[in-house]
Amino acid sequence: MKKRLGEYLRGLRQRKNLSTRQLAAQAGCSASFITRLESGERGTSLHRLWELVNALDGDFLYALAALCVDEGVPEEVAASVAGKEWEATNKALETRIEET
C-alpha cells in the first residue's frame, strides 16, 4: 500500500487547516482524489504532485522521494533525492502517527 506520500500530504493539509475539498479546489482536482491519495489507495502524476505540494507549501523533493518509496524504490536511494529533509520529516511523521 502506498502510504508515505499520503501521510506527508495529509500532515501538510492538516497543518494548513484545509479540508480535502479546499485543497482540491486549490490544486485543481477532486476531493475524492485527495482522500484516495492520502489513504494510499492511488498514486499521482508528477505534475499533480507538484500542484498539491505547491498548494500546501510543502517540500517537493521530499514528496517526490516519498512517491518513489511508495512505488518500490529503495528508501536509501529515495533519501538521496530529499537530502536532510527525508530524515527530519520521517521522524515527525512517525511521532504524529504514534500520537494517534
Residue whose C-alpha is closest to residue 11's, from 51, 83, 59, 73: 59
pLDDT digits (tens, 9 = 90+) for 31-67: 999 999 999 999 999 999 999 999 999 999 999 999 9
**Cα 81 from chain centroid (whole Å):** 15
- Name residues whose C-beta falls within 8 Å of residue 60's C-beta, 6 or more positions apart in sequence: 49, 50, 53, 54
Q: Which residue has the higher pLDDT, 96 or 7?
A: 7
Domain count, the chain: 1
Confidence of residue 80 (pLDDT cuts 50, 70, 90): confident
CATH number of the domain at 16, please.
Answer: 1.10.260.40
pLDDT digits (tens, 9 = 90+) for 3-17: 899 999 999 999 999
Closest Cα to residue 65, out of 44, 50, 80, 87? 80
